[in-house]
Amino acid sequence: MGKLAIIGGSGIQDDPQFHDAEWKRVDSQFVMEYYNGFGDGFVDCRVSNDLIFIPRHGRDTDDSVRYGPSRTQYAANLIAAKMLGATAVVAFSAVGSLRGEKIHVKDLVIPDTYNDQSGRDNNLFGIGFVVHHAGVPAFSKELCDLLSDVGRDLVGEGENRFH
């Protein structure tokens, strides 16, 4: 596998793996009008030889995030990862579950599909630009298998641990 981009929050950013990585600012040139001035297309990243870390909500300044969940520059983050040479992207997120009786707090879940109920425009290509994209499968089987192997090693098998 080539260079890996990790998109995540402060829990991931504080990992010692990223302490020596250099901060870079990438101009993705992707600005969506609905950001109302919040999204400028610039993405701050920590970059090492084979790893890129992108803070999902922008680089923290004074204990606050740059973009709240409804203003996060998802497309700009992905474009910046590609511009920096990423061949795979893994995003970590703390989210709820539609299966609360089975999946609990601190469980690790490797999804094979998703159900977007955000209400956000899911067209990252802009207005008037037609792209024929097959969204199935939503995730690379090879990457899901690799993450599953690593996840089992980290948290073990068993009820309410790894899904």
Using CA atoms, how far residue 162 sits from 50, 97, 100, in Å, is 27, 14, 14
pLDDT tens digits for range 111-126: 888 777 777 666 666 6
Residues 35, 75: contact at Cβ < 8 Å?
Answer: no
- CA distances 21 to 2, 71, 77, 124, 135, Å, are 17, 26, 17, 29, 33
The predicted structure's pLDDT at residue 5: 93
Backbone phi, then psi, for 97, in 5-degree steps? -130, 145
Split at pLDDT 50, 70, 90, the class of 4 is very high
Per-domain boundaries in the chain: 1-94, 102-163
pTM for this entry: 0.76
Residue-averaged pLDDT of the chain? 78
| Span 49-68, pLDDT tens digits | 888 999 887 877 665 667 77
